Amino acid sequence: MLIGHAPGRRVHETGVPWDDSSGERLRRWLGIAREEFYDPEKVAVVPMGFCYPGTGPSGDLPPRPECAPLWHEDILSRLPSDARRVLIGRYAVAGYLGPKFAASLTSTIRSWRARLPFLVLPHPSGRNNVWLSRNPWFERDVLPRMRRLARRALERR
């Protein structure tokens, strides 16, 4: 289960989640082929907000707060109990782990083993290129382990 922000403008227009450069990076990070990624028997793609929230002064607005409480429990009840949950970005982390973990996203990602069964990723947007360049340990140390966990989860399906 991939839990992310909310649909961006392109997804809003096409109706295909993660069908942009952020999605390409996310699939590369997790080592998931496009065909597997969009196979609903293997991957559940669930946003924190189910509609495009619009644009603010520094990018897309936050997901609408009523969406996750309204839909996530029902969605979770339909998934296998052992489904791995990948929290992508600050809004997903805040929604599932709490605001203090989202406030310190770098330390939350760095201590990812302590968050299992959740896997925590920064948002794969190009807006995070500076964060990625300042935290080379993420791609070097964390991503290979997350790829292996993602591969194991996909092979069980």
Three-class secondary structure of residue 118 per DSSP: strand
Residue 117's DSSP bridge partners are none
pLDDT tens, residue by residue, 25-40: 999 999 999 999 999 9
Distance, in Å, from the CA atom of 41 to the CA atom of 64, rounded to the nearest integer, reads 27
pLDDT tens, residue by residue, 86-142: 999 999 999 999 999 988 999 999 999 899 889 999 999 999 999 999 999 999 999
Q: Domain count of the chain?
A: 1
Distance, in Å, from the CA atom of 15 to the CA atom of 31, rounded to the nearest integer, reads 23
Distance, in Å, from the CA atom of 36 to the CA atom of 29, rounded to the nearest integer, reads 14
What pLDDT is recorded for position 106?
95
The structure tokens 């959740």 sit at: 118
Segments forming the whole domain that contains residue 90: 2-155
Q: Which helix H or strand E contains 55, and what residues bound it?
A: strand 55-56
CATH of the domain at 79: 3.40.470.10
Q: Which helix H or strand E contains 4, and what residues bound it?
A: strand 2-4
